[in-house]
Amino acid sequence: MEALLEWTGHPLIDVGLAALCAMSGREDPSALTLDDLDRAAEEMKEHYFSGVMDSYLSCVFTMNAEYTQPAGGAGKERRRKAYVD
């Protein structure tokens, strides 16, 4: 089977690949499977949308990002659910 992901040589991309490898217990991104990526996405979704990372995410993405903006009214949960499902 052909590898889904490979090291790129770009530090910002490769640090993301390294994080995915660490989350999946793999040493090389070429060993990552779709199941590994799905599990990592579920774990990230839990943390990103729980509120635990809001202060960090607001520095990275500013307060204008949907998932860090404290305002949003009744439609925020509906939009979030549509995005992650």
Q: Which pLDDT band holds residue 32 (cuts at 50, 70, 90)?
A: very high
Inform me whether the pLDDT recorded for 48 exceeds 90: no
pTM of the model: 0.66
Q: Report how far residue 32's alpha carbon sits from residue 17's, in angstroms, rounded to the nearest whole number.
A: 9
Average of per-residue pLDDT across 11-40: 97
Of 66 and 12, which is predicted with more confidence? 12
> Is-contact 69 63, C-beta < 8 A?
yes
